[in-house]
Amino acid sequence: MALIFPVAIVSCQKDQPVDLTVEKVAVKTDTSNTSGNFLAVKGSLNVTPGDSTYTFDAAKDSIAFINVNIDSNKYFGITAINKQHTMSFGISSPGFAAPDLTNTVAGSQLLFSTGKQSVEYTLAQTSGPGELNKINLVNYMQDSVLTKGTFTTVMMNKDGKQEPSTVKGSFNLFIK
């Protein structure tokens, strides 16, 4: 008797029409976002390791400002990936984001693929003197500005074949 009941349900479902249309869902970012994670809709993120500058454009690439809670430790940061998925960058700092804030860098990573090889740079274990491994938020969540600021960090090639180098950057990101 138990086998007949599931078969009856399946046969009843079979007679019901199935709607296969796909509905497009628009995702938009607004200031009512309670997660603290925001996707920039315009603006740029520039990352300069050595004499090369890589630019992420929020109009075509994905750039997000994130707030993370890991084991009761709070972090904020910026993560980006280009449209072609050949380059990504991320930087994080402990604590809470706020305007006019200068804080230490907790982690950073730059990945890019040249087609034949992938290169990965990560935060160096040894920082340098002065303003190295710092992130500076000039603006944060003010009017249409998501965040604006600069950073300087020391990164090294993950394979360890190069000496650590200073990486500088700037960001000017908007939510509207």
Residue 160 falls within a domain, yes or no? Answer: yes
Mean pLDDT of 166-175: 95
| Residue 43 structure tokens | 């603006």
pLDDT for the residue 165 = 84
Question: 4-21: b or e for each residue (b if 16 or more CB lie within 10 Å)?
Answer: eeeeeeeeeeeeeeeeee
Taking alpha carbons only, the member of 84, 90, 86 closest to residue 64 is 90
pLDDT for the residue 40 = 96
Residue 27 falls within a domain, yes or no? Answer: no
Residue 93 falls within a domain, yes or no? Answer: yes
Using the predicted structure, report yes or no on whether residue 173 has a pLDDT greater than 60: yes
Question: CB under 8 Å to 107, separation ≥6 — which residues?
Answer: 77, 90, 91, 92, 122, 123
Residue 135 falls within a domain, yes or no? Answer: yes
> pLDDT tens, 78-95?
999 999 999 999 999 999
Using the predicted structure, report yes or no on whether residue 145 has a pLDDT greater than 70: yes
Taking alpha carbons only, the member of 54, 67, 74, 63 closest to residue 167 is 54
Domain enclosing residue 106, as ranges: 36-174
> pLDDT tens, 67-76?
988 888 999 9
Residue 103 falls within a domain, yes or no? Answer: yes
Q: Measured in Å, how far apart are the chain's first and last C-alpha atoms? A: 60
Residue 12 falls within a domain, yes or no? Answer: no
Taking alpha carbons only, the member of 25, 24, 61 closest to residue 41 is 61
> pLDDT tens, 19-41?
333 343 333 434 445 567 899 99
The count of domains in the chain is 1
Spell out the alpha helix ranges (H) of the chain: 4-14
Give the span between the Cα atoms of 165 and 127, in whole angstroms. 10
